[in-house]
Chains A and B, each alone.
Chain A
Amino acid sequence: KQEVTQIPAALSVPEGENLVLNCSFTDSAIYNLQWFRQDPGKGLTSLLLIQSSQREQTSGRLNASLDKSSGRSTLYIAASQPGDSATYLCAVYPGANNLFFGTGTRLTVIP
């Protein structure tokens, strides 16, 4: 069974810093990987989707990379802002109509 791990569980950084969130998965046979953001009491918002044939995707200050062979993905956030404070989850799709979610990294950006 696919296992998805996100370390650290929580991260605090001062405003303006660049930061990297990590996601690792045990089975490299995936179709895609998605990064989501979840604000307290809210649903998940999709940030980036990387297909298995891609190595990275960019959206604004966000850049996600994928290394299938090593079972790793990173989400890079440039010039962090207090509004970036949220829980970030990664999810992998190995097929069979299910996403396997990590437990998330809770990010706090301190003004």
Chain B
Amino acid sequence: DAGVIQSPRHEVTEMGQEVTLRCKPISGHNSLFWYRQTMMRGLELLIYFNNNVPIDDSGMPEDRFSAKMPNASFSTLKIQPSEPRDSAVYFCASSLAGATGELFFGEGSRLTVL
């Protein structure tokens, strides 16, 4: 299996622009997580989907962030408008059994907002 695939790997944008990050989970996994990693705060859960349904989005910072999972093989995380404080590495992870099972992470999308 190719593992969890994220795109783009790097994104540099200007404040106020829309950013869309993409994730393809491992085939057959029914759970998908979006995390954000910064030096100051470490890894933070943004949102968790189970069977394509958002279960917990309490970690989404504010209304500028939105996430969708239109089918079992694709998810997006959108930031509109972006701000410099959104600069971070965004990880997507998938698993067979929510957080009770082993999580498989993608290689991340490094976002820089100027």
A residues contacting B by CB (< 8 A) are 31-32, 34, 36, 41-46, 49, 89, 91, 93, 96-99, 101-104
Contact = CB atoms under 8 A, between A and B. Distances in A.
Chain B, interface SS category = strand
Contacts of B110: 41
Given A89-B43, A98-B48, A31 B100 contact: yes
Nearest to A99: B99
Interface string B98-112: 111111111110100
Interface residues of B, number: 23
Contacts of B56: 96-98
16 contacts: A31-B100, A32-B100, A34-B102, A34-B103, A43-B91, A43-B105, A44-B103, A46-B105, A49-B102, A89-B43, A96-B56, A97-B99, A98-B48, A99-B99, A99-B103, A104-B42
B102 A43 contact: no
A97 B98 contact: yes
Contacts of B113: none
A93 B100 contact: yes
Contacts of A102: 42
